[in-house]
Amino acid sequence: MPLHDTAHAFVPYPDVPVASAPTGTLADLRFAAKDLFDVAGYPTGGGSPFVLAMSGIKTTTAPAVQALLDAGARFVGKTVTDELAFSMNGNNAHFGAPVNGAAPERITGGSSSGSAAAVSSGLCDFALGSDTGGSVRAPANHCALYGIRPTHGRISLQGVLDLAPSLDTCGWFARDVQTFARVGAVLLGDDTAPLPARVRLLKPTDVWALVEAPVVDALAEALARVEALAGTATPTQIALESWDVMYWNFRYVQGREAWLTDGPMIERFAPPLGPGVAERFAWSRDVTDAQITAARAFRARFRAHLGALLGHDGVLVMPTMPDIAPLRSESEAGLESYRNRATTMLCSAGLSGFPQISLPLATRHGAPLGLSLLGPAGSDRSLIALAGQL
Protein backbone atom coordinates (compact mmCIF):
# COMPACT_ATOMS: atom_id res chain seq x y z
CA MET A 1 0.00 0.00 0.00
CA PRO A 2 1.17 3.62 -0.50
CA LEU A 3 3.29 4.91 2.37
CA HIS A 4 0.98 7.90 2.89
CA ASP A 5 -2.56 6.63 2.44
CA THR A 6 -4.27 9.97 2.92
CA ALA A 7 -7.56 8.55 1.66
CA HIS A 8 -7.64 5.63 4.15
CA ALA A 9 -8.34 3.55 1.06
CA PHE A 10 -6.04 0.58 1.70
CA VAL A 11 -6.21 -2.27 4.16
CA PRO A 12 -2.93 -1.95 6.11
CA TYR A 13 -1.50 -5.35 5.24
CA PRO A 14 2.28 -5.76 5.26
CA ASP A 15 3.62 -5.17 1.75
CA VAL A 16 4.34 -8.36 -0.19
CA PRO A 17 6.03 -8.24 -3.61
CA VAL A 18 3.60 -9.21 -6.38
CA ALA A 19 5.30 -9.93 -9.68
CA SER A 20 4.00 -8.41 -12.91
CA ALA A 21 5.18 -8.71 -16.50
CA PRO A 22 8.00 -6.28 -17.34
CA THR A 23 6.22 -5.23 -20.51
CA GLY A 24 2.63 -5.18 -21.69
CA THR A 25 -0.27 -2.94 -22.57
CA LEU A 26 -0.69 -1.81 -18.95
CA ALA A 27 2.99 -1.64 -17.97
CA ASP A 28 2.87 2.07 -17.12
CA LEU A 29 -0.11 1.74 -14.77
CA ARG A 30 -0.54 1.06 -11.04
CA PHE A 31 -3.64 -0.68 -9.71
CA ALA A 32 -5.33 -1.82 -6.52
CA ALA A 33 -7.88 -4.55 -5.85
CA LYS A 34 -10.86 -4.62 -3.51
CA ASP A 35 -10.24 -6.94 -0.56
CA LEU A 36 -12.54 -9.57 -2.02
CA PHE A 37 -9.98 -10.60 -4.64
CA ASP A 38 -7.34 -13.18 -3.76
CA VAL A 39 -3.76 -12.05 -4.28
CA ALA A 40 -0.98 -14.54 -3.50
CA GLY A 41 0.89 -13.50 -0.36
CA TYR A 42 -2.07 -11.61 1.14
CA PRO A 43 -5.14 -12.62 3.14
CA THR A 44 -8.63 -11.82 1.83
CA GLY A 45 -10.69 -10.12 4.53
CA GLY A 46 -13.92 -9.09 2.83
CA GLY A 47 -14.26 -6.14 5.19
CA SER A 48 -14.92 -8.52 8.10
CA PRO A 49 -12.55 -9.26 11.00
CA PHE A 50 -13.97 -12.81 11.19
CA VAL A 51 -13.44 -13.53 7.49
CA LEU A 52 -9.94 -12.05 7.78
CA ALA A 53 -9.17 -14.27 10.79
CA MET A 54 -10.25 -17.37 8.86
CA SER A 55 -8.60 -16.41 5.56
CA GLY A 56 -4.98 -17.42 5.94
CA ILE A 57 -2.44 -16.22 3.40
CA LYS A 58 -3.56 -16.96 -0.15
CA THR A 59 -1.26 -18.98 -2.38
CA THR A 60 -2.99 -18.22 -5.69
CA THR A 61 -4.18 -15.03 -7.36
CA ALA A 62 -7.65 -14.43 -8.76
CA PRO A 63 -7.62 -14.72 -12.59
CA ALA A 64 -8.93 -11.16 -13.03
CA VAL A 65 -6.01 -9.80 -11.00
CA GLN A 66 -3.52 -12.11 -12.74
CA ALA A 67 -4.65 -10.90 -16.17
CA LEU A 68 -3.75 -7.35 -15.16
CA LEU A 69 -0.36 -8.43 -13.80
CA ASP A 70 0.32 -10.36 -17.00
CA ALA A 71 -0.41 -7.18 -18.95
CA GLY A 72 2.30 -5.37 -16.94
CA ALA A 73 0.18 -3.44 -14.44
CA ARG A 74 1.81 -3.01 -11.02
CA PHE A 75 -0.13 -4.01 -7.92
CA VAL A 76 0.00 -1.47 -5.07
CA GLY A 77 -2.37 -2.95 -2.48
CA LYS A 78 -5.76 -4.22 -1.38
CA THR A 79 -8.52 -1.73 -0.71
CA VAL A 80 -11.15 -1.42 1.99
CA THR A 81 -14.60 -2.84 1.22
CA ASP A 82 -17.84 -2.37 3.06
CA GLU A 83 -18.47 -5.27 5.43
CA LEU A 84 -19.07 -8.51 3.49
CA ALA A 85 -19.71 -6.23 0.47
CA PHE A 86 -23.32 -5.78 1.65
CA SER A 87 -23.62 -2.00 1.74
CA MET A 88 -23.62 0.99 -0.58
CA ASN A 89 -22.39 3.72 1.76
CA GLY A 90 -18.62 3.24 2.02
CA ASN A 91 -18.45 3.18 5.82
CA ASN A 92 -17.05 -0.01 7.34
CA ALA A 93 -17.72 -0.24 11.09
CA HIS A 94 -14.42 -2.11 11.60
CA PHE A 95 -12.03 -0.53 9.07
CA GLY A 96 -13.39 3.00 8.70
CA ALA A 97 -14.65 5.17 5.85
CA PRO A 98 -12.33 5.85 2.90
CA VAL A 99 -12.20 9.46 1.73
CA ASN A 100 -13.88 10.60 -1.48
CA GLY A 101 -11.06 12.27 -3.43
CA ALA A 102 -13.50 14.33 -5.51
CA ALA A 103 -15.73 15.50 -2.64
CA PRO A 104 -14.05 14.83 0.74
CA GLU A 105 -17.06 16.00 2.74
CA ARG A 106 -19.26 13.37 1.07
CA ILE A 107 -19.34 9.56 1.24
CA THR A 108 -17.49 7.49 -1.33
CA GLY A 109 -20.31 5.02 -1.71
CA GLY A 110 -19.74 1.29 -1.40
CA SER A 111 -19.08 -1.44 -1.26
CA SER A 112 -16.04 -0.78 -3.49
CA SER A 113 -15.30 2.26 -1.34
CA GLY A 114 -11.55 1.87 -0.97
CA SER A 115 -11.01 1.26 -4.68
CA ALA A 116 -12.94 4.42 -5.59
CA ALA A 117 -11.12 6.41 -2.91
CA ALA A 118 -7.71 5.21 -4.10
CA VAL A 119 -8.36 6.16 -7.72
CA SER A 120 -10.14 9.46 -7.02
CA SER A 121 -7.28 10.46 -4.69
CA GLY A 122 -4.61 9.65 -7.27
CA LEU A 123 -3.06 6.81 -5.24
CA CYS A 124 -3.27 4.47 -8.24
CA ASP A 125 -4.34 4.67 -11.88
CA PHE A 126 -7.21 2.19 -11.74
CA ALA A 127 -8.70 -0.26 -9.27
CA LEU A 128 -10.82 -3.40 -9.29
CA GLY A 129 -14.16 -3.47 -7.52
CA SER A 130 -17.22 -5.67 -7.55
CA ASP A 131 -20.81 -4.74 -8.35
CA THR A 132 -23.78 -6.77 -7.11
CA GLY A 133 -26.39 -4.10 -6.52
CA GLY A 134 -24.42 -0.99 -7.47
CA SER A 135 -21.07 -1.28 -5.71
CA VAL A 136 -19.08 0.09 -8.66
CA ARG A 137 -21.68 2.34 -10.23
CA ALA A 138 -22.52 4.17 -6.98
CA PRO A 139 -18.90 5.05 -6.04
CA ALA A 140 -18.19 6.00 -9.66
CA ASN A 141 -21.07 8.48 -9.52
CA HIS A 142 -19.93 9.87 -6.17
CA CYS A 143 -16.19 10.12 -6.90
CA ALA A 144 -16.06 11.50 -10.49
CA LEU A 145 -14.89 8.19 -11.97
CA TYR A 146 -15.61 5.96 -14.92
CA GLY A 147 -17.02 2.71 -13.56
CA ILE A 148 -18.66 -0.33 -15.10
CA ARG A 149 -20.87 -3.20 -14.10
CA PRO A 150 -20.04 -5.59 -16.98
CA THR A 151 -22.24 -8.24 -18.52
CA HIS A 152 -22.85 -10.82 -15.80
CA GLY A 153 -20.35 -13.68 -16.05
CA ARG A 154 -18.10 -11.95 -18.58
CA ILE A 155 -15.13 -11.50 -16.21
CA SER A 156 -14.09 -14.41 -14.00
CA LEU A 157 -14.94 -14.22 -10.30
CA GLN A 158 -12.83 -17.26 -9.44
CA GLY A 159 -10.79 -16.45 -6.36
CA VAL A 160 -13.20 -13.66 -5.34
CA LEU A 161 -15.43 -13.72 -2.25
CA ASP A 162 -19.11 -14.11 -3.14
CA LEU A 163 -22.04 -12.03 -2.00
CA ALA A 164 -24.87 -13.07 -4.35
CA PRO A 165 -23.29 -15.12 -7.16
CA SER A 166 -26.06 -14.75 -9.74
CA LEU A 167 -25.73 -10.97 -9.39
CA ASP A 168 -22.00 -10.48 -8.60
CA THR A 169 -19.74 -8.93 -11.25
CA CYS A 170 -16.14 -7.69 -11.47
CA GLY A 171 -15.86 -4.01 -12.41
CA TRP A 172 -13.21 -1.31 -12.24
CA PHE A 173 -12.64 2.44 -11.88
CA ALA A 174 -10.44 4.96 -13.68
CA ARG A 175 -10.24 8.75 -13.75
CA ASP A 176 -9.96 8.98 -17.56
CA VAL A 177 -11.64 7.04 -20.32
CA GLN A 178 -8.38 6.13 -22.09
CA THR A 179 -7.08 4.22 -19.07
CA PHE A 180 -10.53 2.77 -18.51
CA ALA A 181 -10.61 1.41 -22.08
CA ARG A 182 -7.11 -0.07 -21.85
CA VAL A 183 -8.12 -2.05 -18.76
CA GLY A 184 -11.30 -3.15 -20.52
CA ALA A 185 -9.31 -4.53 -23.44
CA VAL A 186 -7.42 -6.81 -21.03
CA LEU A 187 -10.33 -7.93 -18.86
CA LEU A 188 -13.14 -8.16 -21.40
CA GLY A 189 -11.63 -9.45 -24.62
CA ASP A 190 -13.79 -8.95 -27.72
CA ASP A 191 -17.48 -8.15 -27.46
CA THR A 192 -19.79 -11.04 -28.18
CA ALA A 193 -22.50 -8.59 -29.32
CA PRO A 194 -20.78 -5.39 -30.50
CA LEU A 195 -22.97 -2.37 -31.09
CA PRO A 196 -23.26 -1.04 -34.65
CA ALA A 197 -21.62 2.22 -35.63
CA ARG A 198 -24.96 3.99 -35.27
CA VAL A 199 -26.75 3.08 -32.05
CA ARG A 200 -30.40 3.62 -31.22
CA LEU A 201 -30.37 5.90 -28.17
CA LEU A 202 -33.25 5.40 -25.72
CA LYS A 203 -34.29 7.63 -22.82
CA PRO A 204 -36.10 5.61 -20.11
CA THR A 205 -38.49 8.25 -18.86
CA ASP A 206 -39.51 6.11 -15.89
CA VAL A 207 -35.89 6.08 -14.66
CA TRP A 208 -35.56 9.84 -15.15
CA ALA A 209 -38.79 10.29 -13.18
CA LEU A 210 -37.08 8.74 -10.15
CA VAL A 211 -34.78 11.77 -9.73
CA GLU A 212 -35.77 15.26 -8.69
CA ALA A 213 -35.86 18.25 -11.04
CA PRO A 214 -32.52 19.79 -9.90
CA VAL A 215 -30.76 16.51 -10.76
CA VAL A 216 -32.41 16.40 -14.19
CA ASP A 217 -31.27 19.98 -14.76
CA ALA A 218 -27.70 19.18 -13.67
CA LEU A 219 -27.56 16.29 -16.17
CA ALA A 220 -29.10 18.20 -19.08
CA GLU A 221 -25.80 19.26 -20.65
CA ALA A 222 -24.35 15.76 -20.35
CA LEU A 223 -27.47 14.28 -21.96
CA ALA A 224 -27.20 16.82 -24.77
CA ARG A 225 -23.60 15.75 -25.39
CA VAL A 226 -24.65 12.12 -25.72
CA GLU A 227 -27.51 13.04 -28.05
CA ALA A 228 -25.20 15.19 -30.18
CA LEU A 229 -23.05 12.11 -30.69
CA ALA A 230 -25.67 9.35 -31.00
CA GLY A 231 -28.87 11.13 -32.04
CA THR A 232 -31.92 12.26 -30.12
CA ALA A 233 -32.95 9.69 -27.55
CA THR A 234 -36.35 8.08 -28.08
CA PRO A 235 -38.52 8.08 -24.94
CA THR A 236 -39.29 4.62 -23.56
CA GLN A 237 -40.10 2.87 -20.29
CA ILE A 238 -38.25 -0.12 -18.92
CA ALA A 239 -39.79 -1.11 -15.57
CA LEU A 240 -41.78 -4.35 -15.69
CA GLU A 241 -45.07 -4.04 -13.76
CA SER A 242 -43.78 -1.29 -11.43
CA TRP A 243 -40.61 -0.04 -9.75
CA ASP A 244 -41.86 -1.44 -6.46
CA VAL A 245 -42.09 -4.91 -8.02
CA MET A 246 -38.64 -4.48 -9.61
CA TYR A 247 -37.10 -3.42 -6.29
CA TRP A 248 -38.50 -6.25 -4.21
CA ASN A 249 -37.72 -9.00 -6.70
CA PHE A 250 -34.11 -7.79 -6.87
CA ARG A 251 -33.94 -7.67 -3.07
CA TYR A 252 -35.32 -11.20 -2.74
CA VAL A 253 -32.70 -12.65 -5.10
CA GLN A 254 -29.85 -10.69 -3.51
CA GLY A 255 -31.01 -11.43 0.03
CA ARG A 256 -31.49 -15.17 -0.38
CA GLU A 257 -28.10 -15.59 -2.04
CA ALA A 258 -26.33 -13.33 0.47
CA TRP A 259 -27.71 -15.43 3.31
CA LEU A 260 -26.66 -18.68 1.63
CA THR A 261 -23.16 -17.19 1.23
CA ASP A 262 -22.60 -15.65 4.67
CA GLY A 263 -25.44 -16.94 6.83
CA PRO A 264 -23.59 -20.07 8.03
CA MET A 265 -20.67 -17.95 9.25
CA ILE A 266 -23.01 -15.42 10.88
CA GLU A 267 -25.01 -18.14 12.67
CA ARG A 268 -21.91 -20.01 13.86
CA PHE A 269 -19.87 -17.07 15.15
CA ALA A 270 -22.46 -14.30 15.67
CA PRO A 271 -19.94 -11.64 14.60
CA PRO A 272 -20.79 -8.03 15.51
CA LEU A 273 -22.06 -6.59 12.21
CA GLY A 274 -22.09 -2.88 11.47
CA PRO A 275 -25.19 -0.66 11.19
CA GLY A 276 -27.28 -1.44 8.13
CA VAL A 277 -25.34 -4.63 7.37
CA ALA A 278 -26.78 -6.40 10.41
CA GLU A 279 -30.33 -5.42 9.49
CA ARG A 280 -29.90 -6.49 5.85
CA PHE A 281 -28.65 -9.94 6.82
CA ALA A 282 -31.47 -10.33 9.35
CA TRP A 283 -33.98 -9.50 6.61
CA SER A 284 -32.21 -11.79 4.13
CA ARG A 285 -32.46 -14.74 6.51
CA ASP A 286 -36.25 -14.57 6.29
CA VAL A 287 -36.68 -14.53 2.50
CA THR A 288 -39.07 -17.41 1.79
CA ASP A 289 -38.89 -20.16 -0.82
CA ALA A 290 -42.03 -18.77 -2.46
CA GLN A 291 -40.50 -15.29 -2.67
CA ILE A 292 -37.26 -16.48 -4.26
CA THR A 293 -39.04 -18.76 -6.74
CA ALA A 294 -41.27 -15.90 -7.89
CA ALA A 295 -38.32 -13.48 -7.98
CA ARG A 296 -36.26 -15.76 -10.21
CA ALA A 297 -39.18 -16.14 -12.61
CA PHE A 298 -39.65 -12.37 -12.64
CA ARG A 299 -35.96 -11.86 -13.38
CA ALA A 300 -36.17 -14.13 -16.42
CA ARG A 301 -39.19 -12.18 -17.71
CA PHE A 302 -37.47 -8.84 -17.15
CA ARG A 303 -34.31 -9.94 -18.93
CA ALA A 304 -36.39 -10.98 -21.94
CA HIS A 305 -38.37 -7.73 -21.78
CA LEU A 306 -35.29 -5.50 -21.67
CA GLY A 307 -33.47 -7.61 -24.26
CA ALA A 308 -36.35 -7.17 -26.70
CA LEU A 309 -36.44 -3.43 -26.04
CA LEU A 310 -32.71 -2.98 -26.69
CA GLY A 311 -32.36 -5.45 -29.56
CA HIS A 312 -28.84 -5.43 -31.00
CA ASP A 313 -28.41 -1.64 -31.21
CA GLY A 314 -30.29 -0.01 -28.32
CA VAL A 315 -28.52 1.97 -25.60
CA LEU A 316 -30.27 3.47 -22.58
CA VAL A 317 -29.05 6.87 -21.34
CA MET A 318 -30.07 7.64 -17.76
CA PRO A 319 -28.92 8.98 -14.39
CA THR A 320 -26.63 6.62 -12.51
CA MET A 321 -27.83 7.51 -9.00
CA PRO A 322 -30.63 9.53 -7.39
CA ASP A 323 -28.27 12.45 -6.69
CA ILE A 324 -24.75 13.41 -5.69
CA ALA A 325 -23.22 11.56 -2.73
CA PRO A 326 -24.78 12.22 0.69
CA LEU A 327 -22.68 14.12 3.21
CA ARG A 328 -20.52 12.06 5.57
CA SER A 329 -22.57 13.55 8.42
CA GLU A 330 -25.83 12.08 7.07
CA SER A 331 -27.74 9.93 9.58
CA GLU A 332 -27.92 6.15 9.24
CA ALA A 333 -31.64 6.47 8.50
CA GLY A 334 -30.93 9.03 5.78
CA LEU A 335 -28.27 6.82 4.22
CA GLU A 336 -30.63 3.82 4.23
CA SER A 337 -33.34 5.87 2.53
CA TYR A 338 -30.87 6.98 -0.13
CA ARG A 339 -29.70 3.37 -0.58
CA ASN A 340 -33.25 2.15 -1.18
CA ARG A 341 -33.84 4.85 -3.81
CA ALA A 342 -30.54 3.93 -5.44
CA THR A 343 -31.35 0.21 -5.48
CA THR A 344 -34.53 0.97 -7.41
CA MET A 345 -32.55 2.89 -10.04
CA LEU A 346 -29.72 0.36 -10.24
CA CYS A 347 -31.67 -2.90 -10.28
CA SER A 348 -32.32 -2.96 -14.04
CA ALA A 349 -28.73 -3.95 -14.83
CA GLY A 350 -28.67 -6.41 -11.95
CA LEU A 351 -31.89 -8.18 -12.90
CA SER A 352 -31.03 -8.30 -16.61
CA GLY A 353 -27.31 -9.02 -16.31
CA PHE A 354 -26.65 -6.34 -18.97
CA PRO A 355 -23.64 -3.95 -18.87
CA GLN A 356 -23.91 -0.42 -17.49
CA ILE A 357 -21.16 2.20 -17.48
CA SER A 358 -21.26 5.37 -15.37
CA LEU A 359 -19.61 8.45 -16.87
CA PRO A 360 -18.43 11.44 -14.77
CA LEU A 361 -20.04 14.07 -16.97
CA ALA A 362 -21.84 16.40 -14.54
CA THR A 363 -21.73 18.12 -11.17
CA ARG A 364 -24.21 19.57 -8.69
CA HIS A 365 -23.33 21.75 -5.70
CA GLY A 366 -19.70 21.21 -6.74
CA ALA A 367 -19.96 17.41 -6.31
CA PRO A 368 -19.78 14.76 -9.06
CA LEU A 369 -22.86 13.37 -10.75
CA GLY A 370 -22.81 10.48 -13.21
CA LEU A 371 -24.72 9.69 -16.39
CA SER A 372 -25.06 6.03 -17.41
CA LEU A 373 -25.16 4.07 -20.63
CA LEU A 374 -26.73 0.58 -20.53
CA GLY A 375 -26.53 -1.76 -23.50
CA PRO A 376 -27.32 -5.32 -24.55
CA ALA A 377 -25.48 -8.31 -23.06
CA GLY A 378 -21.99 -8.58 -24.54
CA SER A 379 -21.74 -4.94 -25.69
CA ASP A 380 -19.40 -3.80 -22.89
CA ARG A 381 -16.46 -2.59 -24.97
CA SER A 382 -18.79 -0.91 -27.44
CA LEU A 383 -20.23 1.10 -24.55
CA ILE A 384 -16.72 2.04 -23.45
CA ALA A 385 -15.89 3.11 -27.01
CA LEU A 386 -19.04 5.22 -27.10
CA ALA A 387 -17.95 6.85 -23.85
CA GLY A 388 -14.55 7.50 -25.40
CA GLN A 389 -16.15 9.36 -28.30
CA LEU A 390 -17.71 11.78 -25.84
Give the catalytic positions in this structure: 34, 111, 135
Cβ partners under 8 Å of residue 179, min gap 6: 29, 125, 126
Please tell me the distance from the alpha carbon of residue 196 to that of residue 242, in angstroms, as a whole number: 31
Beta strands in 69-216 (DSSP E): 74-79, 126-131, 146-149, 169-174, 200-204
Q: Residue type at 318?
A: M
Beta strands in the chain (DSSP E): 30-34, 74-79, 126-131, 146-149, 169-174, 200-204, 234-236, 314-319, 356-364, 367-374
Please tell me the distance from the alpha carbon of residue 80 to that of residue 129, in angstroms, as a whole number: 10
Please tell me the distance from the alpha carbon of residue 87 to that of residue 372, in angstroms, as a whole number: 21
Please tell me the distance from the alpha carbon of residue 39 to that of residue 295, in angstroms, as a whole number: 35
- Whether omega before 111 lies within 30 degrees of 0, making that bond cis, reads yes
β-bridge mates for residue 315, sequence order: 201
Left (φ > 0), alpha (ψ -120 to 50) or beta: where does 318 sit?
Answer: beta
In three-state form (DSSP H/G/I as H, E/B as E, the rest C), the secondary structure along 146-165 is: EEEECCCCCCCCCCECCCCC
Q: What is residue 2's three-state secondary structure?
A: coil
- Contact (Cβ atoms closer than 8 angstroms) between residue 181 and residue 357: no
Q: What is the largest CA-CA distance in the chain?
A: 56
